[in-house]
Amino acid sequence: MKFGLRYCNTGRYIDPAKAVELVQAGEDAGFESAWTVEHTVVPEGYVSAYPYSDDGKMAGGHDDVPLPDPLIWMAYVAAATSRIKLATGILILPQHNPVITAKQIATLDFMSGGRVLLGIGVGWLREEFEALGVPFDDRGARTDDYVAAMRALWSQEKPSYNGEFASFNNVYCRPQPINGSVPIIVGGHSKPAARRAGRLGNGYFPARGAPADLIELARKSAGECGRDPDAIEITASLPDDMDEIPALAAAGVDRILVPVTPMAGLATRISNPDDVKNWRDIIDKYADL
């Protein structure tokens, strides 16, 4: 069982010094990864319903929560660490140019020594898509196409790709990731997200808990696509009762994320870097599950 820190680019950790202190403490305590979140803009008075709260609003209903760009935040703390992996949980992929994003991710992976995990999602905030000039209704198909395009850029000597939304021929995109690609973890608490994870992801990250039906759907979809269902790495939220962790491991959960700020309605389980250090014994206790 691996443990990660969640919502790292929010709250007090938008401060550069505190961000470094948090991730360095996590690395020293044995946390495997530090996870960021993304919204480029949050339009005032949005009416799209946030799917993970009763009132349909993020972070207590505030529209103006400071939220640094996840990739730049990750690059900043990467320079102050050496082992902990750096993850997006999630990057709203259809909002990004896939060629530029592939370049940014590969550069960060190369310069950090192969430490990037790319968590992706399709997004839910229509007003944000409109502000960015990106179509909302085709975001699922666009995401699938972008994943294929980025993997071509990461793995081919002279990449070519011709899809519905991305197309290039005989280009060079250097540097490429350390290990020839970057793990892509599909996030989302829905059947389409679970099916996408099985179809094209290296992992699956439901937004809440470890829903057995969605995890099983991801694995079933992998099998239907001729992929190994057991190779889909499962990331889950920290349960309210940590005595449930062995059962999660038995159900195939590979990684648990611990919130460091009260983002998205989840209770903070680590309030400051000193609290991070106290998790070493917990991580050691469950490491062999």
Q: What digits encode the pLDDT tens for the residues 92-104?
A: 999 999 999 999 9
CA pair distance 273, 285, nearest whole angstrom: 20
- List, for the chain, all residue ranges whose pLDDT scores fall below the cut of 70: 60-62
The CATH superfamily label for domain 2-286 reads Luciferase-like domain (3.20.20.30)
pLDDT of 61 reads: 60
Contact (Cβ atoms closer than 8 angstroms) between residue 139 and residue 132: no
Confidence (pTM): 0.96
CA pair distance 134, 79, nearest whole angstrom: 32
Contact (Cβ atoms closer than 8 angstroms) between residue 91 and residue 121: yes
Please report, for residues 41, 93, 229, the alpha-carbon distance to residue 176 in angstroms, rounded to integers and kept in the order given.
29, 19, 27
Contact (Cβ atoms closer than 8 angstroms) between residue 76 and residue 34: no
**Beta carbons within 8 Å of 38's beta carbon, 6+ residues apart:** 67, 69, 70, 88, 90, 91, 92
Write out the E strands in 58-142: 85-92, 116-121
Q: What digits encode the pLDDT tens for the residues 251-270?
A: 999 999 999 998 777 788 89
pLDDT of 223 reads: 98
Domain boundaries, the chain: 2-286
Token readout for 209 is 């808990």
Which SS3 state, helix, strand or coil, does residue 47 take?
Answer: coil
**Which helix (DSSP H) or strand (DSSP E) does residue 127 occupy?**
helix 126-132
